[in-house]
Structure 1
Amino acid sequence: MGLLDKLRTNMLTADGAMGTLLYSYGIDYCNEELNIERPEIIEKIHQDYIAAGADIIQTNTYGANAIKLERYGLENSVKEINEAAIQIAKRAAAPGGQFVLGTIGAIRGIRKSDATIEEIIQMVDGQAKHLLTGNPDGLLLETYYDFEELAATVTHLRKLTNTPIIAQVSMHDPGILQNGLSLNDALNQLDALGADVVGVNCRLGPFHTIQALEEVALPKNAFLSAFPNASLLDMEDGRLVYESEADYFGKAALLLREEGVRLIGGCCGTTPKHIEAAKKLIGHLPPLTAKVVTPKKPIIIREAEPNSHEPLHEKAQKERTIIVELDTPRHLDTTTFMEGATKLYDAGVDAVTMADNSLASPRISNMAMGSMLKLQNNIRPLAHITCRDRNLIGLQSHLMGLDALGIHDILAVTGDPTKVGDFPGATSVYDVSSLELIQLIKQLNEGISFSGKSLRKKANFSIAAAFNPNVRVLDRAVKRLEKKIECGADYFITQPVYTKEKIQEIYEATKHLTTPIFIGVMPLTNIRNSEFLHNEVPGIKLSEEVLARMRACGEDRARATAEGIQIAKELIDTAAELFNGIYIITPFFRYDMSLELIDHIKEIDGKKVRENSYV
């Protein structure tokens, strides 16, 4: 009798965690390598679960794909590791006739940039074919947070094989996936794609897994599965642990059955004792064949409050738009900053933009200074947000705070690495790249948190993305722009550009795009500043002509300032002809230089208006 035939009439118990037991044995490296280096350990764990009553065991292949094995230098051992795993599991199951599932784990978490769907399918195809050579009773897809990845994987595998497919999603919050899709809808979609068993595993303990499944109707064709963790995570003596009594897990298995689950196993923190307790209570019971789900009252997501200003990207599509960057102070005296920001705004700029600890050096929070600008002086702030300094928790909290303060203009950037800043030993977080951050901010605009649950109100962010045109092959940089547009970028802000030819090149390379681009212009102050920018600051390159002009000023500060402004004006002349958006970067709090450039832009636009009026 095959796996699916058995599930039609029986409750089945699967095994529990593999990594938890290996960790308890003092093994803390590539678990999958043990299939070829220490197969007796893996076989012993399989046997322990079988002795506990498991009807199903799964291969030790969760991370046995080329992408995950590469971190251990084992990317060329995919075939050997997977084929060994299926042989070990088959050998352990042979005496009792237990079913064997070939396990395939997810590649993506919240970072879509970890791998494209095409790369994932290539990895899955290779791993699945190696597992299928051992004739498993099914393929188990587990711990998929990214529904796009799981749907694509099920679709591909269904074309590849008729072997039963168990497809399991993982949730950050009960009942909802990280993209905002309800668990019920997700499982129905997997059913329609051809999965034979659909369910959930990992992240949540029994309580929240049961809670999530209360809202799930029985699928039309597929059976339901659940592999919860033993409990929520706890910290004990610096180690992550799961605290859950086996009896509690067994009682939870009974409740999972009441939600229509037919296949029950364990994930992180579970041991043979947990599986034994579950088997004892559900092994003799028939599965439920009908279930009534009472729909919960939907959570209303309120529309965002309208912005007090026209979004910058909308204005820049029609007319001249100027933003000026003014760094927040590296000390606690905010007098000069507030004075400069006020004068810049009074001069007619559309927004004052503030970096997020540029060059990885700590400054007063741009959220704090942006709030002061807005509330005290009615100045429109544009806050940069880097992926470097905050994990996902901090990023969402920070963005929610900005929305609550009414700061809706955002530049999403990856951020300079900490090694270039004041604290080279500090940790760079980089939970996500700027691409994922843009997507996540757009998700907030739909009223959905990073974890997928409702925020009860939509945010209203206008999202800028960075564009570095100072590269050897501009076409590659433009391809990255196009990816950022796909992720939801509303407009782009460039690194400072120092030749008219580069501005013209940017125009030719991007004129097919409708997304506005703000050309960055930063006046130079002296030759030392110029050489530092040219040689040491990532993403900035000066031409030999510009360096020569600044070098000719020598140590004459006034002459150097005047020359720096003149170079910037010449660049603005070209930029203003080709782009509506101008981005002025203020050097060293020298907002007087930025004010002169703003006046120059106003003169250009005024002259153009006068010329047009005579036509």
Structure 2
Amino acid sequence: MLDVRKLLAQRPLLFDGGMGTYYKAKPGQECEQANLTDPDGILAVHRAYLAAGADAIKTNTFSLPRLAAAQQPGWEKLADAGWQLAAKAAGETGAAVFADLGPAPDTENLPAEQVYLAVAKRFALLGARNFLFETLSTEEGVLEAIRALKQTVPEAFVLVSFAVLPDGYTREGRYCAELVRRMAQSGVVDAVGLNCVSAPGAMRALVQQLGDAGLPLSVMPNAGYPVVARAQVRYQGKPAYFARELSRLAAEGVRILGGCCGTTPQHIAALRTALDALPEALPAAPAAKPAAVAKPVVETDDAFLRKLRTGQRVIAVELDSPKDADLTAYLEGARRLQAAGADLLTIADCPIARARMDSSLVACRVHRELGMNVLPHMTCRDRNLNATKALLLGLYAEGVREVLAITGDPIPTAERDEVKNVYQFNSRKLAQYIVSLAGEGREMPSPITVFGALNLNARNFEVELRRAAEKLENGMSGFLTQPLLSAQAVENLKKTRETLGERAKILAGILPVVSQRNAIFMENEVNGIHVDEAIIQKFEGLDRTAGEELGLEVSVQAAKAAAPYADGFYLMTPFNRVALMERLIARLRTEVTD
């Protein structure tokens, strides 16, 4: 069998094309099932790519990590059959065989690391020494699995390849250059690259962003972009164009080339011819991207962030956007809160999954007209990657420099047939994506600061605290907490400060209870809020005026209890009672913050 390392030292390595799109599986059947149900058909595809000139072929096992994670019976037999078919075909020409592993789901019960390792070890037992982890949108679990694999198979050659959109980000919002850098610096990955999603021209532009990765670089684009005709997906990219674009990459130093979706033996044959026509002496890596021209210094902080980072206690106030299209009263309320001493206005993103005026548009209007610092909430519930990016670019252009990234309340059950969740991200991945948009050659000249939510009332607070640490690792700068309406919430806030230290900016949540009915409703129907029974009983029989007075007193006492562990306060306005919040801000400024 071909020694991949020796070949790469002499010339570029040519892979096969897209098995899944070339082999026509029966409707509803996984392509991998054909390893057992139609072995001759799979063998014929392998032989066609080898006849076209491929130096290496992939086992027909792309979906195995997903099947193994689902604990589907028989995935091991699919692996065995897939390996045996590829090895048989490759043995006829001396080509290399790569055990092919697609993305593995990552869950708390079964981490991706365990799934990758189980599948990779299965192939190692069969004799595999070359491994391809492909079409990944994140590196979760990959490096850990490879380290463990190389303890068993030290001589293993491992190629890791990411699926990247033409703008340079994966579908989970990871920036390609950062992913490639992590693989190159890991010390256990032998080659790294990009595959799928993008067409040859876009892939070439992406490679130019990577510069010299320090490892052999792999490029396996789709034949083009898919066209759906009569429920059939077709790729119309021509072999000649495919070969021309990839041979240019080879001339610039890319060492591993091949094809993904839509690439046929004809594409690989054309590329073989083009590669054979190249001069023998080729650069070992793509030319580094030229240094960028120096740009003016960009203001990265606003008044709120500067105050927070210099240790002054801040006050943020949440005011829900209108349910209709009239902002007149809302802007007046925001103006009053600003005059009262609020440092920041936060706007929820369709709370409890019911439509209100868009939080980001409202934030831009408030910032533009009042010059007030704003923190729009951004949920993962309603937008995919494209919509999220478009909104973030608009916010940055409007001068908004911070957002709150949250998963978002689920759509109520009764509405799910008509209103669909999106959830392409969770809040950690969304934060990671937002901060990745800033940097040299990227979309934003300076980063947007990302805050997250912290539920001090979570039943299993240890899990909540662990997630908070993960959020910090993924780019968040701090947290706005759920309201403190119990002694346990204060204790959990203290534990948060002790655990996370000063690296996390914490705004303690304060929500004035205004009546017993209000307190009972929040305790029983609002997710993430817990009101002590003693507080509920205090409001019995009080009218509106007395209820607001007691609510103010409870809120001030909660703020005093939270003050030693918080960098500021996050005030939630009940029923849009701006006058009540003006009084609360005044008391906090007098009794707590100043």
Under a length normalisation based on structure 1, what TM-score does the superposition of the two structures give? 0.83
| Contact in 1 for aligned 2:212/2:286 (Cα 8 Å) | no
Which deviates more from structure 2 when the two are superposed, residues 579-588 or residues 159-168? 159-168
Match of 2:453 in 1: 466
1:364 aligned to 357, 363, 374, which one? 357
1:100 aligned to 97, 101, 104, which one? 97
Q: How does 1:317-336 map to 2 (within 5 A)?
A: 318-336=311-329
Q: CA deviation at 1:591?
A: 1.4
Q: CA deviation at 1:416?
A: 0.8
- SS in structure 2 of the partner of residue 410 of structure 1: strand
* Counterpart amino acid of residue 459 in structure 2: R
Q: CA deviation at 1:173?
A: 4.1
Q: Given the alignment of the two structures, is residue 141 of structure 1 paired with residue 95 of structure 2, yes or no?
A: no
1:179 aligned to 172, 175, 191, which one? 175
Q: CA deviation at 1:59?
A: 0.5
Q: CA deviation at 1:17?
A: 0.6
CA distance in 1 between counterparts of 2:205 and 2:266 reads 23
Q: How does 1:87-486 map to 2 (within 5 A)?
A: 87-107=84-104, 114=106, 119-136=111-128, 138-146=130-138, 155-161=147-153, 162-173=155-166, 178-179=174-175, 181=177, 189=185, 193=188, 195=190, 198-211=192-205, 225-236=218-229, 240-261=233-254, 263-282=256-275, 287-290=280-283, 295-300=288-293, 302-311=296-305, 314=308, 318-419=311-412, 425-444=418-437, 446-447=438-439, 454-455=442-443, 457-459=445-447, 461-486=448-473
Q: Given the alignment of the two structures, is residue 82 of structure 1 paired with residue 71 of structure 2, yes or no?
A: no
Q: 1:562 to 1:39 in 2, by over 3 A?
A: farther
* Counterpart amino acid of residue 132 in structure 1: A
Q: Given the alignment of the two structures, is residue 520 of structure 1 paired with residue 509 of structure 2, yes or no?
A: yes
Which deviates more from structure 2 when the two are superposed, residues 540-549 or residues 294-303? 294-303
Q: 1:302 to 1:400 in 2, by over 3 A?
A: farther
Q: How does 1:585-604 map to 2 (within 5 A)?
A: 585-604=572-591
CA distance in 1 between counterparts of 2:459 and 2:180 reads 49
* Counterpart amino acid of residue 445 in structure 2: K
1:536 aligned to 525, 530, 536, which one? 525
CA distance in 1 between counterparts of 2:130 and 2:75 reads 19
CA distance in 1 between counterparts of 2:557 and 2:450 reads 29
| Contact in 2 for aligned 1:10/1:286 (Cα 8 Å) | no
Q: How does 1:23-38 map to 2 (within 5 A)?
A: 24-38=24-38
CA distance in 1 between counterparts of 2:121 and 2:473 reads 33
Q: 1:499 to 1:226 in 2, by over 3 A?
A: closer
CA distance in 1 between counterparts of 2:200 and 2:567 reads 56
Match of 1:550 in 2: 539
Q: CA deviation at 1:409?
A: 2.8
Q: CA deviation at 1:579?
A: 3.5
- SS in structure 2 of the partner of residue 133 of structure 1: helix
* Counterpart amino acid of residue 378 in structure 1: G
Q: 1:305 to 1:547 in 2, by over 3 A?
A: same
Q: Given the alignment of the two structures, is residue 15 of structure 1 paired with residue 4 of structure 2, yes or no?
A: no
Q: Given the alignment of the two structures, is residue 492 of structure 1 paired with residue 479 of structure 2, yes or no?
A: yes
Q: CA deviation at 1:237?
A: 5.3
* Counterpart amino acid of residue 513 in structure 2: L
Q: 1:53 to 1:548 in 2, by over 3 A?
A: same
CA distance in 2 between counterparts of 1:46 and 1:313 reads 63
Match of 1:613 in 2: none
Q: CA deviation at 1:360?
A: 1.0
**Gap runs ≥5 in structure 2:** none
Under a length normalisation based on structure 2, what TM-score does the superposition of the two structures give? 0.86
**Gap runs ≥5 in structure 1:** 109-113, 610-615
Which deviates more from structure 2 when the two are superposed, residues 407-416 or residues 30-39? 30-39
| Contact in 1 for aligned 2:52/2:265 (Cα 8 Å) | yes
RMSD: 3.6
Q: 1:157 to 1:602 in 2, by over 3 A?
A: same
| Contact in 2 for aligned 1:500/1:574 (Cα 8 Å) | no
CA distance in 2 between counterparts of 1:181 and 1:257 reads 19
1:69 aligned to 67, 78, 83, which one? 67
Q: CA deviation at 1:386?
A: 1.1
Q: 1:589 to 1:237 in 2, by over 3 A?
A: farther
Which deviates more from structure 2 when the two are superposed, residues 81-90 or residues 129-138? 129-138
| Contact in 2 for aligned 1:359/1:421 (Cα 8 Å) | no
CA distance in 1 between counterparts of 2:344 and 2:103 reads 42
* Counterpart amino acid of residue 45 in structure 1: V
Residue-by-residue CA offset, 1:278-315 (whole Å, 9 max, x unaligned):
34554687754457966543234654315341416725
* Counterpart amino acid of residue 343 in structure 1: R
Q: 1:340 to 1:238 in 2, by over 3 A?
A: farther
Q: 1:395 to 1:574 in 2, by over 3 A?
A: same
Match of 1:612 in 2: none
Q: 1:264 to 1:489 in 2, by over 3 A?
A: closer
Which deviates more from structure 2 when the two are superposed, residues 275-284 or residues 168-177? 168-177
| Contact in 2 for aligned 1:154/1:193 (Cα 8 Å) | yes
* Counterpart amino acid of residue 509 in structure 2: G
CA distance in 2 between counterparts of 1:318 and 1:602 reads 15
- SS in structure 2 of the partner of residue 397 of structure 1: helix
CA distance in 1 between counterparts of 2:212 and 2:332 reads 64
Which deviates more from structure 2 when the two are superposed, residues 594-603 or residues 349-358? 594-603
* Counterpart amino acid of residue 518 in structure 1: L
| Contact in 1 for aligned 2:99/2:123 (Cα 8 Å) | yes
CA distance in 2 between counterparts of 1:290 and 1:233 reads 33
- SS in structure 1 of the partner of residue 412 of structure 2: helix
Q: CA deviation at 1:468?
A: 0.4
CA distance in 2 between counterparts of 1:501 and 1:482 reads 20
Q: CA deviation at 1:331?
A: 0.7
| Contact in 2 for aligned 1:521/1:583 (Cα 8 Å) | yes
Residue-by-residue CA offset, 1:443-486 (whole Å, 9 max, x unaligned):
23x426xxxx5226123x33321110112232322222222222
CA distance in 1 between counterparts of 2:334 and 2:213 reads 59
CA distance in 1 between counterparts of 2:340 and 2:212 reads 64
| Contact in 2 for aligned 1:103/1:139 (Cα 8 Å) | yes
CA distance in 1 between counterparts of 2:285 and 2:472 reads 44
CA distance in 2 between counterparts of 1:465 and 1:297 reads 37
| Contact in 1 for aligned 2:68/2:75 (Cα 8 Å) | no
Q: 1:173 to 1:524 in 2, by over 3 A?
A: same
* Counterpart amino acid of residue 549 in structure 1: K
Q: How does 1:598-613 map to 2 (within 5 A)?
A: 598-605=585-592
* Counterpart amino acid of residue 436 in structure 1: K
Q: CA deviation at 1:355?
A: 0.6
| Contact in 1 for aligned 2:210/2:289 (Cα 8 Å) | no
CA distance in 1 between counterparts of 2:564 and 2:179 reads 52
* Counterpart amino acid of residue 255 in structure 1: R
CA distance in 1 between counterparts of 2:507 and 2:494 reads 11
Q: 1:149 to 1:229 in 2, by over 3 A?
A: farther
Task: Give % identity.
Answer: 28
CA distance in 2 between counterparts of 1:182 and 1:496 reads 37
